[in-house]
Structure 1
Amino acid sequence: MVGIKESKEALIGINELAIFIAKRLKDGIGMDDIGAIIDVLKNDGEFKIKIAAAFDGIKAVPEEMKDIDMQEGVELAMVQIMYMPKIIEAFKK
């Protein structure tokens, strides 16, 4: 059994990045958005850790998905469900 550690970290990182981008792009795309992404990656330790964890183990995700069982699938689904209210809020204008 391989586990889902890297898949879970990737899912969290993708959700965090999507929420950040959705909030930034509400007013359209601008040069300040690039600066904001760089700034958050440099200055927000928690965000930086989540993004780094997501991309550090990304190569392990396909192998983990080949070996996923019902419990692991539910665990990943619960992570995504936890993010849904945050994602919906981020897309509201």
Structure 2
Amino acid sequence: MSEVRSELRYLASHEWARAFRRFRPEVAAQRFAPRPMIVLHGDDDESVPVSDARRIATAHGSPEMSVLRGAGHRLRHDPRAVAVLLGWLERVRDE
């Protein structure tokens, strides 16, 4: 456990960690608009609440949003998320 704590202290001391703490996803989403954006989220995510994803979507104004039932934080391992993303990419490409 002490190894984990020392690793966390090390990571937190670096500039990228400070920049990460300053990052505001809602502001980034506003700046990204009106370009197409998709927000994918699992309703069983224990790391980030669905309400955060909804705030990002609202800040953008017109993203496609998909909340996957029973999915957790690691959506790249969920074939449903991959299917949603690929479908979105095809639609955006064809616009």
Query: What is the TM-score normalised by the length of structure 1?
Result: 0.26
If each structure's strand is expressed as a fraction of its own residues, which one has the higher value? 2
Rg bigger for which structure?
2
If each structure's helix is expressed as a fraction of its own residues, which one has the higher value? 1
Greater RCO, CA 8 A, separation 6+: 1
Query: What is the TM-score normalised by the length of structure 2?
Result: 0.25
